A and B are shown apart, each in its own frame.
Chain A
């Protein structure tokens, strides 16, 4: 008996799924797209968080690394800071200094922080010795794993300068510090012996806090630390958040973006599934009544209607998981590069959680209308299924009838008011589709702005080199000791003598140190008319003369300084107090780059000249002639080609386009589903209209008009919501990438574009309604008139 009941139920479910093909496809596709977006978002979140957090916990990483002056603060005084509020563990103080390492072939590394530790084990920053062994005696060095490569082999001898008599160190191991407390390690005695006047000895103390501090709390700890030590003893600090951000940088900005799309997808899926099932109940009242009349229990009716949603949703979820995994691959590959970790794949539990969550959401969305179906009284269901419609929406017909529009159009315009819930579901689908489109258009424009704002050097038409290797080919300069071979005055004279020169400025990049920053910073120094070298500014202004410095957001975050403050910058042996006049939008790489006038540092000379040419002058020809003048002097010149677009931005833009297409399609499918329901329900009325002489074109007009108002309203709601979402998500993405965003990146919409996006709502609605409209126009009038 039970078996036969289950068989009958199965047949009802199968016939329901088969009969309502459009709804079945809509549920499957909507669920697939929502699940795909959620899998991508979830896998990226896991990939972005897990590797760093796991490694940091295993190594008991340092939340704060302080570099201290041992002359101003005694060891006892430094050790006393371990008792500061919130500190749960410390390591050190370790002696530290800065060195360059030169390999056997004379290749020189950038400046490295060398810390003296007797072993890798410690209560804080427990290093992973990945290759070789620890340095146990003077003359040995351990390098960070980022140096692993052909240039640095275990057992090789390294020197700390090009001089033949400079101290030699044998490379005995490679180690990883997740907190990036140092780039190299040696015994404490070795470190002390390498310190010099130019590279003074410092003390390094590592702190852990409980709980893990936020950015603001790190600032408070830094202030407390400075207050607990003699004035000037705290030379600089480094937060674990810098290391985390550096590690997360590749994937972290995508997270808010993917969450936004994932949430949009899931919300749309819920709306559409709920609308499809409630619509199926609404138009199937008579069928429900008949099922009950022939002996189906209320529970069986509920199960039948839930199953009709779960079968296509189950297929959609399975496809969505596969699609999500495929889409996540390029983004995960980028994350891999960011961490330098082993291959990342979508965590299996992300697939399981997303699939289970989607089933739960779909099941719940289906259960509510299904329960309504189960509760319907048999006689009522049959009677309601046959009775004429209620009087809902008549006022709309009266009002629309007065509009000076063709009657078929006014009849259609009033139709949605007969089914307010269905119209609301359709409205939400259109609005969410418009939100997705608006957000994606803004995101794409913002990413384009980011791309064009990042490297002002690329904006120059021509670059003249004063003897350094070309930045477009060969190795990059490694430090500040190289002297350009062309006399700047001669280079400038050659540029000024060349006809077609509109403006130019000189630029060099050197290593420097700045108060409050542990380790070195990169200083970009400008000479001449350097307005064209301006970065997009988040706050303040670009350099206008000597005594000023422009810094990136991370510099302000690291040092706790603000625009308007002063900072001591030391380049070679020149220390200058510069006023911070602007916060630059610079996310070009991990290092801190500050910008100042070259006049502040007389020992520096331009490495390149960046030249704007007059309108109509061919940069390539100009560069060729300038190069001919500079080569005899030891320089060169070349025209700049537009820089290649950032790969990551391209991936994001492609993802945005794909996800938008998916969500807009889902919105269109939602409209399609609602209009199919509506058209089926009105098939008899449409037949009457056609019998009275309504032409196929008028019928299409009627059906399209029934969604036009919803499209307009959906656009009006969706565009501001998409605008707001962009305004919220972009700054969050920027913070994840370690920067605020300038207005040029945030204010990317213009009025005509917003109007067009608003019209997108109508387009979604009309496209969704077009198929059922054509079907209604083609349907046979005689058949429609026989339909109950």
Chain B
């Protein structure tokens, strides 16, 4: 089985004298798997996500994503890795307010040097797929929460990443929008997208994830596999 994520003995300490915020932890996520990470505040969920995304480095252990040891990479290599292999969706969307919806979606493709026309085509494709094409020229501030999160998902998928990371993707949404995003993630997973989603929302975890891990004080407390969503 091919593992997209492979964590071996990973620990992260923010204070050298204190207990680790995460780990030591061993974790493998297979290609096409949808992993939900749950746990109370301070349990290490976001730290885990940051380590997998290459936004932070572990104090101990090895982090391998798509076959690459990202904990040994420099900043330039990590940036390249993120834009080519990872898509990220955030709780508060993190869209750039001064760019249009289309420009926001195109941005990661343009950072990789994708020709303008091809980036525009891919963005158009995703906007069509996610039902936001009518907002292409609008600015994020004018969209509803659910629409913004769809834009964020489109942006995350523009470079066809091997791994989609979502940090509380429904945390800032009303229930209708949350449901909307939930269905979108289920669809993506059904399409074969490997997913890691950090959430407090057990309903989301249940709906989208083929596997759920529960963290408590940085340690793996529970690892449950469910029936394949697809």
Contact = CB atoms under 8 A, between A and B. Distances in A.
**Same complex origin of A and B:** yes
Interface of A: 388-389, 391, 393-394, 397-398, 401, 406-408, 411, 414, 418, 684-685, 688-698, 777, 780-782, 785
A523 B211 CA distance: 107
Interface of B: 50, 53, 55-56, 75-76, 79-80, 82-84, 86, 88, 90, 94-100, 103, 107-108, 110-113, 139, 141, 155, 159
B139 A691 contact: no
Given A394-B98, A397-B99, A397-B103, A785 B79 contact: no
A696 to B, nearest CB: 5
A135 to B, nearest CB: 89
A28 to B, nearest CB: 33
A391 B113 CA distance: 27
Nearest to B109: A407
Contacts of A693: 79-80, 82-84, 86, 108, 111-112, 159
B50 A695 contact: no
* 8 A-B pairs with least C-beta separation: A693-B83, A407-B110, A695-B79, A693-B82, A782-B55, A688-B94, A692-B108, A781-B55
Contact of B79 (A388, A398, A418, A694): A694
A696 B111 contact: no
B75 A695 contact: yes
B89 to A, nearest CB: 11
A688 B96 contact: yes
B56 A780 contact: yes
Contacts of A698: 79, 111
A692 B111 contact: yes
B98 A397 contact: yes
A406 B109 CA distance: 11
Given A389-B98, A397-B99, A401-B103, A692 B155 contact: yes
Contacts of B139: 391, 394
Contacts of A389: 97-98
B96 A782 contact: no
A408 B99 CA distance: 13
Contacts of A692: 82-83, 88, 107-108, 111, 155
B98 A782 contact: no
Nearest to A784: B55
Contacts of B55: 691, 780-782, 785
B76 to A, nearest CB: 5
15 contacts: A388-B97, A391-B139, A393-B98, A406-B110, A407-B110, A688-B96, A689-B96, A692-B82, A693-B83, A693-B84, A694-B79, A694-B83, A780-B55, A782-B55, A785-B55
Contacts of B79: 690, 693-696, 698
Contact of B100 (A398, A411, A691, A785): A398
Contacts of A689: 96, 107, 111
A693 B106 CA distance: 12
A132 to B, nearest CB: 85
A665 B82 CA distance: 39
B55 to A, nearest CB: 4
Nearest to B56: A782
Given A688-B94, A692-B155, A694-B83, 11 more contacts: A388-B141, A397-B99, A418-B98, A691-B53, A691-B88, A691-B94, A693-B108, A693-B112, A777-B75, A782-B50, A782-B55
B10 to A, nearest CB: 15
Contacts of B112: 693
A507 B14 CA distance: 87
B29 to A, nearest CB: 20
Nearest to B140: A388
Contacts of A782: 50, 55-56
A714 B99 CA distance: 27
Contact of A685 (B96, B111, B155): B96
A384 to B, nearest CB: 14
Nearest to B141: A388
Contacts of B88: 691-692
B83 A696 contact: no
Nearest to A690: B79
A694 B81 CA distance: 10
A688 B155 CA distance: 12
B94 A785 contact: yes
B168 to A, nearest CB: 13
B57 to A, nearest CB: 10
Given A695-B80, A696-B76, A696-B79, A407 B111 contact: yes
A114 to B, nearest CB: 85
Contacts of A391: 98, 139, 141
Given A393-B98, A408-B111, A691 B75 contact: no
Given A693-B82, A695-B76, A698-B79, A407 B50 contact: no
A407 B120 CA distance: 13
Contacts of B155: 692
